[in-house]
Structure formats: C-alpha cells, structure tokens
Chains A and B, each alone.
Chain A
Amino acid sequence: MNRRRVLALMGKECRELARDPLTIGLAILMPLVMLFLFGYAVTLDVNNIRLGVLDEDRSPASRELVDRFTSSGYFEQSHAFDTTRQAEQALQRGQVRVVLVVPRRFQRALVRGEAAPVQLLVDGAFASSAALALGYAEAIVASYPAAPRQRIETQVRVWYNPGLRSANFVIPGLFAVILMAFPPLLTALAIVREKESGTIEQIYASPVTSAEFVLAKLLPYAGVALLEMALLVGVGIVWFDVPFAGSPALLAAASGVYVLTTVGIGLLVSTITRTQLSAMLVALIVSLMPSFLFSGFLFPVFTMPLMLQLYSTLVPASYFVEISRDVVLKDAGLVALAPNLAWLALYTAVVFVFAAWRLRQKVAA
C-alpha cells in the first residue's frame, strides 16, 4: 500500500463528505430519530393493565385482595362485573386484559383455613405482556396473607439494572443496532455512486490498488460512524437517564472496532451492487434486519433454535450488543470484552479482504 495515495484518497473523501450537507445531515439525524423512536417505543415494562373484577363474595377479604392488585401499580381496575358472561364479553372485546374472579365463600374459606381458590382470566393474545401480567398477578396473590402457612422467603436482588428499567437495557442495545443500520447504508452508496457517475473508471485506470481504495473509503466513513456513536451515547445518558457504569474510553475503543466492521459491510455491499437503489436495499437486508432479530437486542439469542443461534454468530451486532451492555451496565473490563472484540476484529479483516477482492479494478474480468 502506498501511504501517499491512501492519504490523498482519504482527503478527497473527507472533502466530498464535508461539502455534502445533505449526507452529513442524514448521517446525524437518522440515528437520532431511530434512537428516540425505539427508546420510547420498545419498552418491555407493563404498567396499568386494565383489570376487571367479578367479586361474587363481596366481603372485606375480597375487597382487600382487589385493593392489593390496584395498589401494586401494575393493574388498574376499569370494570366491575356482576356475571361471568359480562366478564367474558369484556375480555373478548379487549376492554380488560385480566379478570379476577373471587368466588362466593372466599372469606369464609380463609377464616376456616381452607383452600380459597380465586380465578384469573388473562387475555393471551398479547403473549408477552400476558405472561408478565400473569407473573405480577401470581405474585400479588401469593403475597396475600392468607393462612399462616409455612413459606420459603425468597430475597431477590437484581444486579446491573436494579429497577429493571427497559431503557437501561434497550438503549445500549440500540447503539449496536443503529451503528449497524446507518453507517453501512451511507457507505453502501459510497462506491456505487462512483460506479454510477463513472469516476470509478478513472480509479481503475490509475495505479491505485483496490485495497488502497477500499481503505480510503473505510476510514472516513468509520469516523462519521464514531461521531454518530458519541452522539447516541450522549443522548442516551442525558435524555434517557441510562447510567454509565463502565469506562467511556473502553467503549470508544470497542466502538472503533465495531464501526470498521459495519462500514466494511457497507463497502462490501457497494462492491457487489451496481446502482444506488439496489445498494440501499441490499444494505438494509443484510445489515438492519438481522441485527434487529438476531443480535439479542430484543430477543435473547440463547432461547433460539440451534440453527438460528449459529446464524446469529454471523451478525456483528450480536457481539456489540453484548459489549455495549457489558460496558454501560456492568462496568466490564477489557478482559471480559476480549472474546467479543477478537471476533469483531476478525470479522472486519475478512470483510475488508473480501471487499478489496470483489473490487477487482476491472469493469469486467
């Protein structure tokens, strides 16, 4: 590689970028839009579940049980029913998500120390929130001081995200997904644009090698991606109140490795496509979609079938989702990150070599 040529090409790339306010604007704005959209929309917390009550007992004990539901903060009582039929209809129409049925003689059974069954009807159409609601409801029922039965007290302590706040979990994951979404999109256009305008033929017909050309594209766009990362982290901390437990320098260094991978993928896409439109589509398909589904950003990878788990190892975001959460939430050190970082570095090298090889410096061989 000739350093002078690489520097000259990088200088050209930076100037073009700096004189293209539209691209810069998009590069800054799009990640922020996505951060805000997903920062607010993707919340796994379930609050204010609409609760209907069919209280057939109408006793102080039954009223207290209902109170415990509503005062937990997870449920709000929106309906009271007189008949089972009413309750069924409300559940079917989606007016309530959970129905608590307290049968006749509930209080009497309690007083006598007999088993006092209550019924919970849960709308299972929203499977994940139904499971959560069920969990909350069971916990509330279990904690109801019924018979003085012997119980094992569990003391639960949640580490790293004690409030179990979704944002703390979602935002660091979003860093990984967003850096996989937009930098490749920008760079996918970078070489294709030169193919479309024809300037690339000048490069082919010059002593510039394909490795030099790809490297000179890689570094400036990686710089833009790092800027995006800094912006995302800043907004994440200031706006979304995500606590930053670890070392900013370590996260910056790890991001450096990661953006080389993502930008490299964009360049690879750029070398195999011919038009800007197809480059954008391919970039979306290979980068954005898998990183949503298979990175562990929302859906844990370890619960997936084995084939998909193997597939997820091909998704670079899966490594950085872990790195990002480890540093931001767990204050992980370099040693803990090393395996994931090593995979990313290897990934980058493979992508770079492949992109340089694909850009064969010929119109057609």
Chain B
Amino acid sequence: MGRAGALAHALACAAVTPTARLVAQGLGRRFGPRWAVRDVSLSLAPGETLGVVGADGAGKTTLLQMFAAILDPSEGSCTVLGGDSRRDSKRIAAGLGYMTQGFTLYDRLTIEENLRLAATLRGVSDADYGPRRAQLLAMAGLARFTERLSGKLSGGMRKKLSLCTNLIHAPQLLILDEPGLGVDPLSRRELWTMLAQYRETGVATIVATSYMDEAERCDRVLLLRDGQPLALDTPSGLRTQAAGRVFELRGSDLAQRLPALRALPQVRGLQVLPDRARFQSRDPAAAPVPGSQPAVPVLEDVFVLHDTAIEPEAPAAPPVTLSTPGPGLVTRDVSVVFGGFRAVNRVSLSIQPGELLALLGPNGAGKTTLIRGLCGLVPFSEGQAQVAGFSLPGQIAAVRQRIGYMSQRFSLYLDLTAQENLDFFASAYGLRGARAREAIAQATAQLGLTLESGRLVAALSGAERQRLALACAILHQPAVLFLDEPTSGVDPLARYRFWWLIRRLAQGGMSILVTTHYLDEAAYCDRIGLMHQGALIGWGTLDALRAQTGQSADASVETVFVQAIAQATAKTGAAA
C-alpha cells in the first residue's frame, strides 16, 4: 500500500465500519479524582496502524490497557474484536497481542521456553507452532539463541522476543506500549521491519510512542496531552495543520537577535539550536519576523500548535559568567566493570569549558553509569579522568565541590517546598547565610523560577520540577554540570525552553554533559557522543559523525547511529 493509498484507507476508516477491530466511544478512565484519559473516540480498521503519541504521563499506557481490556473504563465504551472490553475480556484476549512497556518475558526461561509458553497459553496447536516459531525467530534474528535465558539478552533482543511471543498466535489486534524504549537504534529499526512484515497479514496495530519518527510510520496518529486527545489524523494531515506556522532564523548574529525574538508577541515555542532558531508564529496572518524562513513542520510542531497552556515565560536573568571557568573534562579509557559485566567500556572523551555535549543511546547503554563514575559515585575500574581540573579517583572530594549533578528522577524532596529544597542543597554545598540566599536568588533568576511559598514539590508539574532540580544542581556554580535524562516526561514547549536554559549556562563557561535517549535532541548540542553497549562508538559534531560514517550531510541522527553501530560491530568482529 503506497502512502496515498494508506491515507485514503485511513480516512475511509474514520467512520465506524462493521469490521472495525476496535471502536472506542467517549472512553475515559479516572484514578481517584484525576482523569488519566478522557474523551477518546476512534475506530481502527484491519491492517491499520494507529500511533498514540504523547509525553510520559500523558495517559498512553492507561489508554492502551483499556484497549487491551485489562483496565475497565470509567466512562464510555470500548469494543475490541467485536467484544465489550468490560465483559468479554477473556474472549478478546484470545485474538490480542499486547506488549507492555516493561518486562514481558520470564527471565529464567529460555527464548524457546518463553515462546512455547506464550503459544500454549494462547492455544496455538503444535502443527501451527512449528512453522510460526521458525518464521518469527528468523525475522527477529533470534534463531541461533533459542537456548539462551531471556534474562541474558540485550534490550533489543528482549523487545524482539516479546514481539514474537505476542505474534505467535497470529493476533488480529496488536497493541504495543513504547516498543522503542530501551532499544538501540539498530534493534528499533529491526523491530519496525518485523512489524511492517507482519502488517501484511491484516493485523491492526496500536503503538504508543514518544518518538516522533515512530509516529511518522503510522497510518494515523492520536496526539495525547494530559489525557486529552489533541488531534487524530494521518501524519501528513497533522503536519498540514502546522504548515505556514513554523519558521527558522539563521545567521551569525543569531545570539544577539535572540532576546528580541523571544520578546516578540507572535513567537512561541522557540527552539534554540547551535546554528539556528526555530519557532512558531502565534498568528499566521501576522507579518513574518524579518530574516526568518518558513520551515518544514514536523509532528512535534503540531503538539506545540495544540498546546494551549500559557508559556511560563518568566524573564530569565542573563547568563552568569563563571568566576573561575574550569578546564572542563577529559577521560582516558575509563571503564566500569560490575562483576563480569562491562557497563562502561574504555570511554575516552573531552568537554571544553562552555561546551554542551550530548551522550545518546538507549537505556542500558551505560550513559548513567559513566556519569555516576565522573561524579565519583562509582569507582572506575580502569582508566583516568580529569574533571574540573582534578583527577579521579584521587581527588574525589575536590571534584565533588566543582560539579553539579541532576539525576534521572530529579532527586528532590517531594514533601518539602521548592524553597526548602533549595535551602537544603545550598547547605549541602556548604553555603550558609547570606551566601546561600545570594546563590539561591541567582540560580532561580537565571532559570526564571518563581518560588511559591507553601507549595510542596509533590504538587509541581514535571516541567517545574525539572527546572527546580536544575537550580539545585547549579547553586554552587559548578564548572562541570551533568544532566541525566533531564527531558524525559516533559512536554515539547517546556523542553525547548529547558534546552535554551542549558545553552545559556554553557555560554557562562560551564562544561555540560547531557544524556538523552531522544536522538532528535542531539540537534541542541555542540557535540554528541554515541553510546552502545557501554562503549562510545563515536563522538564529535553531528557533521563530523556523518562524514565518519559516510552518510550524506542531511542524514538523520538515527541513520548515523545505526551506521556507527554497524562499523563498531564490524571492527570488534574483525578483532575477534
């Protein structure tokens, strides 16, 4: 089916058809007083792929659980494979494949045993099992490892095996919750290839994702924000909504023009990238910003378009220049070995003062362990590192005074207020009295953070917590700042703003290392490092990496990453 065909097909299915695999009407789910999802109505035709897209906490998993008939809706109804999701859940289950976000496999069973169990539980006959097993394992590239315990598989292999166990009974409806999470780009591609092959059998698929490129592969996309559907359309249809609203501004005087640009009333969703600024125009009829060019909209722009929330545009103070800019960070062949497992494998990299470096890679690639090593939280098994002018492991105490660390879950005290959190972290850095007050005032001004007294952190939104955690990490003006997955679970608008704040910190002289599993976010950084199975398989500017991997100048980060993995695998293969 071609693109145009798919579009026509999808549009035809918008009306409720008797053969629909799934029909949801006014579907909603409440947990206590809070609505996790509300007002979802849609219908899914055989062979159709629906993407459910939104940030973490947008209600994707809740919606999928209702579709899979394992969560009863609080309002509305859901008809799945002809049965009512409340009453006929076991009948629905027979024709359903549901791959949850977390672990769906039994770690102490082998690949073969997991697959066999899934088949038996779903009533697959021995006659059917043989050929399907062979076909699926071949597609997943797992045929050689059938006796391996699934607990010993890589993230990518596990996801592929999970998919196999959910396809073994040839389901009519396949529901996948964030299949790309924790999977390296190569395995992610293979996963989507498997899905594409399987779609030809007429299976209807629902995929929840926060990756825009995965959403682009779907026939239709449902955008969710805080449990509310924003839009439901084909990817191209959605992008059309944002057509004529997205602009770019380039030029050598970009940095000087930014404050004025930010002040313009029609500019919203400003993304500051190293070489350009990208923004939406609030009013399509308004006169264009001088010097700006129309840009090609992407799916994420549609989110910003529909985001009616008032932007937290509290004026942020100009960047503070560090009094003593540090010499950055250098590592030489550092490794972290847990037992026999090399979580970080001979990583060498450097970050200059004022530089913003992104470490990219799936969960489990070793990014967090590397950062924890550089903070002196885990000892390096091999190699040396110089952080902010001091060496590890010898001068751990000195290093800790000169670094800031924002951990993955924003380690804030939820039952304290923002002010109390800041006070605590200030005292933890040895700042007292007037110096502490000054540091807190400076950090909050820099990040445009207003402190509401009496409000506990537990009541703050993800974006507010994110900035508060950053403020706590920079109170003592560290020379090197580590940010571990700072942008997960945050809406695009808040994310754009966060990247801009980080960039301004870098302009003040900090060396900043950020990890992310969103490959697109590489665009915000000066240089990027690609991590795969504990090793740094490439680092440099995106252009340099494109050249190294022999890709064209407009190749996506994902393509570069996949190629880098291939090169690294070939190299270790040749060495072995």
Using a CB–CB cutoff of 8 Å, the interface residues on chain A facing chain B are 2, 4-5, 8-9, 11-12, 15-16, 19-20, 197-199, 201-209, 361-365
In the complex, chain B residues 71-92 whose Cβ is within 8 Å of any chain A Cβ: 71-72, 89-90
Closest Cβ of chain A: how far from B400's Cβ, in Å? 32
A198, B104: Cβ atoms closer than 8 Å: yes
Contact call A205/B103, Cβ cutoff below 8 A: no
The 29 sampled A-B contact pairs (Cβ below 8 Å) are: A2-B123, A5-B121, A8-B116, A11-B117, A12-B117, A15-B108, A15-B113, A16-B109, A19-B149, A20-B108, A197-B102, A197-B103, A198-B100, A198-B101, A199-B105, A201-B98, A201-B100, A203-B121, A204-B68, A204-B89, A205-B98, A206-B118, A207-B94, A207-B121, A209-B90, A361-B70, A361-B90, A364-B31, A364-B71
Q: Mark B47-84, 1 if CB is under 8 A from A, else 0.
A: 00000000000000000010011111000000000000
A198 touches B71 (CB 8 A): no
Cα separation A160 to B42 with both chains bound (whole Å)? 75
For residue B90, which residue of chain A has the nearest CB? A207
Smallest CB gap from B149: residue in A: A19
With contacts A9-B121, A199-B104, A202-B104 taken as known, whether A363 is within 8 angstroms of B113 at the C-beta atoms is: no
Interface residue B122 (Cβ < 8 Å from any Cβ of A): yes
Chain A neighbourhood of B121, CB < 8 A: 5, 8-9, 203, 206-208
Contacts of B108 in A (CB 8 A): 15-16, 19-20
The verdict on B25 contacting chain A, using a C-beta distance below 8 Å, is no
B65 with A363: CB separation less than 8 A: yes
CA distance A15 to B147 in the complex (A): 13
Q: Indicate if the CB atoms of A201 and B117 lie closer than 8 Å.
A: no
B556 cross-chain contacts in A, Cβ below 8 A: none
Which of these, A20, A202, A208, A361, contacts B100 with CB under 8 Å? Answer: A202
Q: Which residues of B contact A (CB under 8 A)?
A: 31, 65, 68-72, 89-90, 93-94, 96, 98, 100-106, 108-109, 113, 116-118, 120-123, 149, 165
CB distance from B549 to the nearest CB of A (A): 36
Chain A residues with Cβ below 8 Å from B104 are: 198-199, 201-202
A12-B117, A16-B108, A20-B108 known; A206+B102 contact, CB < 8 A: no
Q: Is the CB of A207 within 8 A of B123?
A: yes
Q: How far, in angstroms, from A11 to B117 measured CA to CA in the complex? A: 9
User: B120 contacts which chain A residues (CB < 8 A)?
Assistant: 4-5, 8
* 4 nearest CB pairs, A to B: A198-B102, A8-B120, A205-B98, A204-B70
Task: Evaluate whether A206 and B122 lie within 8 angstroms (CB atoms) in the complex, with A362-B70, A362-B71 already known.
Answer: yes
Contacts of A201 in B (CB 8 A): 65, 70, 98, 100, 104
Q: Tell me, in angstroms, the Cα distance from A206 to B93 when the chains sit together.
A: 5
Distance in angstroms between the alpha carbons of A201 and B103 in the assembled complex: 10
Q: With A198-B102, A199-B103, A199-B105 as given contacts, are A365 and B72 in contact (CB-CB < 8 Å)?
A: yes
Q: Which residues of A contact B68 (CB under 8 A)?
A: 204-205
| A9–B70 alpha-carbon span in the complex (Å) | 20
Q: Determine the distance from Cα of A201 to Cα of B104 in the docked complex, in whole angstroms.
A: 8
CB closest chain-A residue, reference B70? A204
B-chain residues with CB within 8 Å of residue A365 when the two chains form the complex? 72
Note all chain B residues with C-beta closer than 8 A to A8. Answer: 116-117, 120-121
Say how far A40's CB is from chain B's closest CB, in angstroms: 37
Shortest Cβ distance from B204 into chain A, in angstroms? 15
Q: For A16, give its contact among B70, B72, B101, B106 (CB under 8 Å).
A: B106
Please state if B100 and A362 are interface contacts (CB–CB under 8 Å): no
Contacts of B103 in A (CB 8 A): 197-199
Q: Is the CB of B117 within 8 A of A205?
A: no
Least Cβ–Cβ distance between A207 and chain B, in angstroms? 5
What is the chain B residue whose CB lies nearest that of A2?
B123
Across-interface contacts of A15 in B (CB, < 8 A): 108-109, 113
Partner of B70, one of A4, A5, A11, A363: A363
Q: Which residues of B contact A202 (CB under 8 A)?
A: 98, 100, 104, 118, 165
Q: How far is the CB of B76 from chain A (nearest CB, A)?
A: 15
Q: What's the minimum C-beta distance from B485 to chain A, rounded to whole angstroms? A: 20
Nearest CB to that of B116 among chain A residues?
A: A8
Pairwise interchain contact A207-B72, C-beta atoms closer than 8 A: no
Q: B residues within 8 A CB of A207?
A: 90, 93-94, 121-123
Instruction: Name the distance in Å between A196's Cβ and chain B's nearest Cβ.
Output: 9
Find chain A residues with CB under 8 A from B105 CB.
199
Q: Once the chains are docked, how many angstroms separate the CA of A2 from the CA of B90? A: 13
Tell me, in angstroms, the Cα distance from A328 to B90 when the chains sit together.
48
Distance in angstroms from B151 CB to nearest chain A CB is: 9
Chain B residues near A4 (CB-CB < 8 A): 120, 123
Closest to A13 in B: B106
